[in-house]
C-alpha cells in the first residue's frame, strides 16, 4: 500500500482555499492508495467551532468523497464537526467506494482550551484497508501510549496534527517511540506555516516498525512524501521477535 503524506500550510479558517491547495498537491499522484492530511486541515486548529464547524455531511466531507472516488484512493484527516449541537475534532477516513470511517479525538488539548470547545471521543477506531489494520489518532493522542498500545490488533498508526515548533522535538521522539513499542508502521502528518497562536514547521514522516525513517517532508515547506508499506517484513518481524505477545494485559476505562 502506497501512502502519501500531505504537509500543508493551512489558510486560517478558509476551507475553500485549503481544499484547492490540497487538490494541487494530489495532482499527478494517481498511484497513491492513501493520502493523509493534517489535523483540522480545512481550517487550522481553531477554537471557534461555532463559526467554522461543518455539519456531518458538510462540504468538506463531500469533497473528500469526490476526491477519493476520482483518484481511487483514501483521503484521511480531521475536521471540526458539528453534530446535535455539540462539536467534535473528527478524523475521517474516506474510501474510494464511498465508505467513511470516523474517529473523534479522545485526548483534547486542555492547554489550548480544546476541552472547553469540543467533546472527547470514547471509541478507539481501527480500520481495515488495503490488507492493513489502521489505527486512527489525532495530535495530542500521541502523548498517551496506553490509548495507542497495539494488542495485536493493528499494523499502522496514523497521527494527524497541528504540532507547534516549540514542541517539535517531542513530536519527532514520540512518533518513533510508537513505531518501536508497537512494532508497527507510523504515519505522522503535521502542518507548516502560522496561525494566530502558533508557528509550525512540519515534520511529516512515515516510519517503519524498526523505528527507521521511510519518507519525510522538508521542514517549513508545503510538500508531499510517499512510501510503500509492505505486509511481509512486518509479519516476519513480529513473528521472529514477538514483543507484542509479551505485553501486559489491561483494560481501558472510558
Query: Torsion angle of alpha carbons 14, 3, 194, 11, nearest 10°?
Result: -10
> Has 20 been annotated as catalytic?
no
DSSP label at 110? Answer: G
From the candidates 39, 54, 114, 222, give the one annotated as an active-site residue: 39
Q: How many residues does the chain have?
A: 254
From the candidates 73, 95, 139, 150, give the one annotated as an active-site residue: 139
Q: Which three cell numbers stand for residue 85?
A: 449541537
Instruction: Give yes or no for a contact between 178 and 211, defined as CB atoms under 8 angstroms apart.
Output: no
From the candidates 13, 95, 105, 150, give the one annotated as an active-site residue: 105
> Has 139 been annotated as catalytic?
yes
* DSSP H/E element including 104: strand 100-104
> Has 95 been annotated as catalytic?
no
Cα separation values, 54 from 44, 80, 84, 148, Å: 13, 6, 12, 27
Helix axis angle, 15-26 to 59-71, nearest 10°: 10
Supply the residues annotated as catalytic: 39, 105, 139
Amino acid at each position: 500500500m502506497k501512502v502519501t503524506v500531505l504537509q500543508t500550510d493551512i489558510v486560517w479558517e478558509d476551507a475553500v482555499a485549503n481544499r484547492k491547495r490540497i487538490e494541487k498537491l494530489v495532482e499527478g499522484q494517481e498511484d497513491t492508495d492513501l493520502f493523509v492530511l493534517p489535523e483540522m486541515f480545512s481550517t487550522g486548529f481553531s477554537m471557534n467551532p461555532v463559526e467554522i464547524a461543518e455539519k456531518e455531511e458538510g462540504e468538506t466531507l463531500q469533497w473528500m468523497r469526490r476526491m477519493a472516488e476520482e483518484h481511487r484512493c483514501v483521503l484521511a484527516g480531521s475536521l471540526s464537526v458539528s453534530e446535535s449541537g455539540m462539536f467534535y475534532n473528527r478524523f475521517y477516513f474516506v474510501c474510494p467506494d464511498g465508505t467513511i470511517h470516523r474517529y473523534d479525538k479522545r485526548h483534547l488539548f486542555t492547554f489550548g482550551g480544546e476541552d472547553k470547545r469540543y467533546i472527547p471521543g470514547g471509541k478507539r477506531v481501527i480500520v481495515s484497508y488495503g490488507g492493513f489494520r489502521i489505527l486512527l489518532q489525532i495530535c495530542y493522542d500521541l502523548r498517551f501510549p496506553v490509548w495507542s498500545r497495539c494488542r495485536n490488533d493493528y499494523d499502522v498508526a496514523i497521527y494527524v496534527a497541528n504540532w507547534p515548533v516549540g514542541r517539535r522535538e517531542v513530536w519527532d521522539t514520540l512518533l518513533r517511540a510508537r513505531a518501536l513499542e508497537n512494532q508497527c508502521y507510523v504515519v505522522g502528518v503535521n502542518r507548516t506555516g502560522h496561525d494566530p497562536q502558533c508557528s509550525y514547521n512540519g515534520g511529516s514522516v512515515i516510519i517503519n516498525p524498526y523505528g527507521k525513517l521511510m519518507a519525510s517532508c522538508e521542514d517549513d515547506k508545503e510538500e508531499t512524501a510517499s512510501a510503500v508499506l509492505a505486509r511481509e517484513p512486518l509479519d516476519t518481524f513480529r513473528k521472529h521477535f514477538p514483543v507484542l505477545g509479551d505485553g501486559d494485559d489491561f483494560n481501558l476505562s472510558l
